[in-house]
Structure 1
């Protein structure tokens, strides 16, 4: 087993192109997944790469470095539209995991219940991918392709997450349902970003639900229906969630998940709208 620590993206890309490596940053998903198996995989720790961590704003969009910790996201000075993302950052695992786990790691883990995905979807996130062949960007919806599956090739790594500057005045919110406060897999979770016009009517809406399908999803039909509504008139029913496909498991039935997610959507939308006022 080798433990490699490149100091630049070019060095990391070259290593990935020439050998089979497991990419780690915080390691909060990688090491538990080994369970009792022997740790015999060559690893590349990306946390020493110059410029891979931090939250910055440039060219009318926000950049979250791939190795940015969830604690750093929670503490960053961000617009109100990011309140949902920051709330999710405070719900990831436990305080210790938030101090080690990274934003890109949460995405690459590709769990249906990954807390970071719904709020990033509502912020129209895109994922920057790099390799010796160059750099490309994919929408987050296209990046996560299934349960524990992403669009990454073996010689590629996530280098950053980009978010367009949200509409001025828009506000985000995040709701999570679990059996306890910390260290819990979500039963359902919902994020929303809402903006109101001068008359108090919704003129921008993004709503996403996680843990109710193989991949967290935006709800474009609900978003379109919200446009022009007053916050107090918003109603969300399970019929608005027909695109989802929740499962029955020990944490809840599919029907329960749909009912809970509909209630969460309504709460997230109203909380964001009320904070806006």
Structure 2
């Protein structure tokens, strides 16, 4: 199976798990908005969960709730990111954002409910013994909170009114939280499920997460709105410091390539079993959305 086929197959499994998780809910606007926010996307984080599990001999049906959990949490972050008080975006994945399709209050509540759904999914007994499920819960809480994603978002907002543009080190720290923390949790999840050492996957994911964000910055400059499914050129319009604005386009691309090489090197302990994760790393800097 090629990498795009594997990514698509994993995405379908995750969508089915998310649909099942919401199947018993009343058909209220907030639930409709949750379902809407959970549609589409690359599902790269879910893929990393499932593939890191496969790497440790854990079947997808055992790890699927963890994969669905990170996608629910990621969806919540996007719904809130798009709000007028945050990035004020009206387009996501080529469709109106949740607060545009419904209203701001519904978007806030849908995001809140998607976040709690993530932790409900991590309680699934199929994920294994309670101590391993607890490790997943604690890890996702750290990755998504004020030590991870929320920290990155807060730093991003603060930068909008800072007296000077962020330095390269400051942008790297910001993005390690905003984008990288959930990617790290996803890649480590399989090792946590197996009770194995997550260090090689952590090193892989740290490089991968930074390369992912650099690729996003490049897409904001070179990308096509029809392909990305969201507005492009926003960073330049807002005068935001990005990897591209600080390094230049060519150097940003070179840095992303170097990070992918670093990510691949971290996988050497796994040998040929890591080919799908290597393909994922290469996909990150070649994607069009």
- TM-score (ref. length: structure 1): 0.30
Structure 2 length-normalised TM: 0.29
Identify, as 1 or 2, the structure richer in strand. Answer: 1
Whose helix proportion is higher, 1 or 2?
Answer: 2
Greater relative contact order, per chain length (Cα 8 Å cut-off, separation 6+) = 2
